[in-house]
Amino acid sequence: MDGHLAVAVHAHGHQCDIGSMHGTRSGNPGLIVCGFTHGLTTKGVLSRVLWSPTWRGSHAPMEMRKIGSLDVSVVGLGTNNFGFFMQAGAVPPVVDAAIEEGINFFDTADSYLDSEVRLGQALGRRRDHVVIATKFGSPVGEDGTGGAHPDYVRHAVERSLRALGTDRIDLYQLHRPDPETHIADTLGVLDELVAEGKVREIGCSNFSIAQLREAEAAVGPDDARFVSLQNHFNLLERGDETEVLPECVATGVAYLPFFPLASGLLSGKYVRGQAPPDGTRLAIWGDASLTDENFDVLDALTAWAEARKHTLLDLAFAWLAATPGVASVIAGATNAHQIRLNARAGSWVLTPNERAEVSQLVAR
């Protein structure tokens, strides 16, 4: 599968751009075999890779970032819609569109009903060319089994491997803390799964700064450790900005914001004074967030984006992507058009000053 890669490197402390290089994606997901079109000394350290598969046509290349050893697209696809809100036949066109747009990072969970099965089937033989993240720990099934006990983790990973139709999980995440299980015990079995090749990297979700530090203190120097944290974060929900995000940056933990569009509030689909459209998340889950205060913020954000010939959705992605520590913005989508909008939004790069200016619009 031939592609085209544009890179920027840091050499001797100075950033220098290399025009382009051509590469081939190998059978090892996340691995790029490449040859430079211009010379580069071995002292240059690759800092950023832009992957533009040939099927992206004239689109700008998709930026790639790191989660541990994994190379992931800055725009990812969250797939809880696959299990909760979509028919099985509607899933493959969304996955196809994501891959066509250069998205290689797919995030799911064993608690998202049939999401894992549908994702695995839609990927088919393309599995080796993408990065699959899934989660365990939330209640699953009629009996509500979940948690992070080692015995359960071993059962859960085998179930996810079967559902996804794969022999390894690229990023295996603890969906939520388990107060009944010592984190050291959970990390111990996860380390075994990495050693066995069933899992490549491990991460966590819904963790506080104290829980992150407890997990880091529980591992030895050669043990598998959490390389990612997936928490609730967006322009309207910024609780992690004070402590958690700086901790992630300091420790090299990749940050993955979930609900990046605030259940659609930052997509522009909701109108002040009107009921949410049928079938939308806020119509199903309740519209408590459709307040005048929130709409005042949305109006300010929309005006700022439109003055720069962008949309509110573009800004929601760009602001997150410009946040230090963020590896991928994993928004959901239920159709190919939404995928294309998300991918386009991921190409807008805000300067630090622009991000700070936007942050002031939502300060409250």
Phi, psi of 322 (to 5 degrees): -85, 0
- What tokens appear for 316 in the block? 């929601």
Q: Which of 112, 152, 172, 255 is catalytic?
A: 112
The closest alpha carbon to 115, from 91, 137, 94, 93, belongs to 91
CA distance 200 to 193: 8
255 is catalytic: no
SS3 353: helix
Q: Which sign, positive or negative, has the C-alpha torsion 103, 108, 114, 116? A: positive
CA distance 350 to 353: 8
Beta bridge partners of 72: 65
Report the side by side order of strands in the sheet with 14-25: 32-36, 14-25, 2-11, 45-53, 62-67, 70-73
- What tokens appear for 54 in the block? 């040939």
Give the active site residues: 112
